[in-house]
Structure 1
Amino acid sequence: MRYFTSSLASLLWLAASVASGQTVAPAATAPAAPEAPADDAARPVLVKVGLNVARSFRWGGYNGIPFRVPVTVGVEYRLHSKFTLYGQLDADFATSRYGGYADQRTPLLPTGALSLGGRYYYNQAGRARSNRAHGAFVGNYLAAEAHTEMWHHFESPGLAIPAGDIELRRSYVPTLNLLWGMQRRLGRRFLFDGSAGIGVGATRSDLNFGGFSSGPVNLSGQLNLGVYFGR
């Protein structure tokens, strides 16, 4: 009888709790699934500004034009976790306005380049399994780009070169380049981006420019070593 009375009191208390809107906690709850970490590189656009030091090695002293500071501005847009489109502008500022060729005054911007292309960041899953650098805008990549070099050079109409006949002219060399490269984060605000490859174009260039001409086809090498501030 005492057991029956106790059970009846428990049922009445439960009914009163439900009627008054109180909730009864379950005896046990399943553990919540861990929340996926936020991706701080999930932005679709990467903007970077820095120095492409390989251009200084390539151009330094060419045709009497002095050493230069190679400033680069680039924008990369992510289409997919592995594919991006990018544009890059290189501006090589001269450290001196006078070259060694007939003391001709050189422009502030003797050389520069514009590149437009796409990148494929390969083996992202493998790098993640191996706990190596991966993610948005990070990893090893293959790239194809349309690239145009601009540079000023001294020319004379004949073999005899009087000082007054020397002219500083501007030339353009367009090429299609295939590149292999790698991009890595250096902390949260900086990037290293290095690439190398080969290009082919229809315009003949001087051998000092870094290419080899055979008939109408010009083959050239491409090298980039950049450290950038990137957001």
Structure 2
Amino acid sequence: MHKLLLPAAGLLLSLPLSTTVALGQSPAPDSARTATAAPQTMFKLGLDVAEVTGSWYGFAVPLYLGAERPLGRHFSATVDVTSSIGFRRKPQLAELSGSLGVRYYYNQARRQRLGKPTQRLGGTYLQAQFTNTFNRTGLWTYPTEGPAYFSHQPSAELFWGWQRRFGRYGFVDAAAGLRLLPNWSYRNSPEPRYRWQPEIGLRVRAGLAF
């Protein structure tokens, strides 16, 4: 009798495994594992081409350094630093700015539904950010020697933009939008009045991303 019971017990023990395979409870696909993987931070180094300026007295080249980290599927946090170097007789710091922002890549889900390729931290986006800018005064006037003085200019910004990776390390990030700058006015009042002044913003950044 025990010779008959042993095969039957083995058959019963194998039923849960065979039932699991039959019901399609297979290991998670690669796409699911990719979706739950730890996010990666993208670092960017290049030029802010739209901020290049020049005149009879000299020119300034803005160097750009940024970092962007995903926040969920379609959002990301950004940190940007731009240092504009002015050239007149010798290189001098003309402007320094730092920004903190949040981006929403709104077109990725639609492209995925249509079967089109998408990039991590790439595509069209909306961005809100706050920027602090320090401008050097008197850089383009004579003389250029002496202590450096900087004026502080904060701004709140809203941009619509497009970012894309090219090749293994290249990137382009172009955006246009609206800046709100604080403006102190003494008009019809002995005390300064504080108000926000709108301004069109444009940026075109290109360089290396890794």
| Equivalent-residue separation in structure 2 for 1:151 and 1:202 (angstroms) | 15
Matched residues in 1 for 2:83 and 2:105: separation?
Answer: 26
Instruction: Tell me, in whole angstroms, the C-alpha distance in 2 between the residues paired with 1:122 and 1:72.
Output: 25
| From 218, 226, 229, the counterpart of 2:197 | 218
Q: How many residues align?
A: 194
Determine if contact 1:53/1:226 at 8 Å carries over to the other structure: yes
2:79 is the counterpart of 1:79: no
Amino acid at match of 2:57: G
Rounded to whole Å, the distance in 2 between the matches of 1:172 and 1:59 is 20
* Mapped partners of 1:47, 1:34: distance in 2: 27
Match of 1:193 among 160, 173, 179: 173
| C-alpha distance in structure 2 between counterparts of 1:114 and 1:221, whole Å | 18
Mapped to 2, the partners of 1:225 and 1:76 lie a distance apart of 16
Output the CA distance in 1 between the equivalents of 2:88 and 2:119. 43
Question: What does the per-residue CA deviation read over 1:52-80, in whole Å, with 9 as the maximum and x for residues that have no partner?
Answer: 3334xx34126834242x32111222221
**CA separation of 1:66 and 1:97: change in aligned 2, threshold 3 A:** same
Give the secondary structure class of the aligned counterpart of 1:137: coil
Q: Give the Cα–Cα distance (whole angstroms) in 2 for the partners of residues 53 and 92 of structure 1.
A: 9
Within a 5 Å distance, the mapping from 1:1-231 to structure 2 comes to: 35-37=29-31, 39=34, 43-55=38-50, 58-61=51-54, 64-68=57-61, 70-94=62-86, 96-98=87-89, 107=92, 109-154=93-138, 169-203=149-183, 216-231=195-210
Please give the TM-score of this superposition, normalised by the length of structure 1.
Answer: 0.64
Unaligned runs of 5+ in 1: 1-12, 99-104, 156-160, 205-214
Q: Which has the higher strand share?
A: 2
Q: Which moved more, 1:134-143 or 1:114-123?
A: 134-143
Query: Aligned partners of 1:36 and 1:190: how far apart in 2?
Result: 27
How many Å separate the matches in 2 of 1:79 and 1:173? 29
SS of residue matched to 1:202: strand
Cα offsets for 1:159-198 (capped at 9, x unmatched) = xx9x569975322221100100112222343322211111
Distance in 1, matches of 2:57 and 2:35, equals 46
CA contact 2:48–2:64 (8 Å) conserved in 1: no
Q: CA deviation at 1:44?
A: 2.2
Give the secondary structure class of the aligned counterpart of 2:112.
Answer: helix
Answer with 1 or 2: which has the greater Rg.
1
Instruction: Say which SS state the counterpart of residue 73 (structure 2) adopts.
Output: coil
Quote the Cα distance in structure 2 between the aligned partners of 1:139 and 1:36. Answer: 23
Residues 1:173 and 1:77: Cα distance change in structure 2 (over 3 Å): same
In structure 2, C-alpha distance between the alignment counterparts of 1:89 and 1:165, rounded to whole Å: 25
Question: Structure 1 pair 165/222, CA: closer, same or farther in 2 (3 Å)?
Answer: closer
Q: 8 Å contact 1:81–1:135 — kept in the other structure?
A: no
- Describe the shift of the 1:216–1:83 C-alpha distance in structure 2 as closer, same or farther (beyond 3 A): same
Identity %, equivalent residues: 23
**RMSD value, Cα:** 3.9
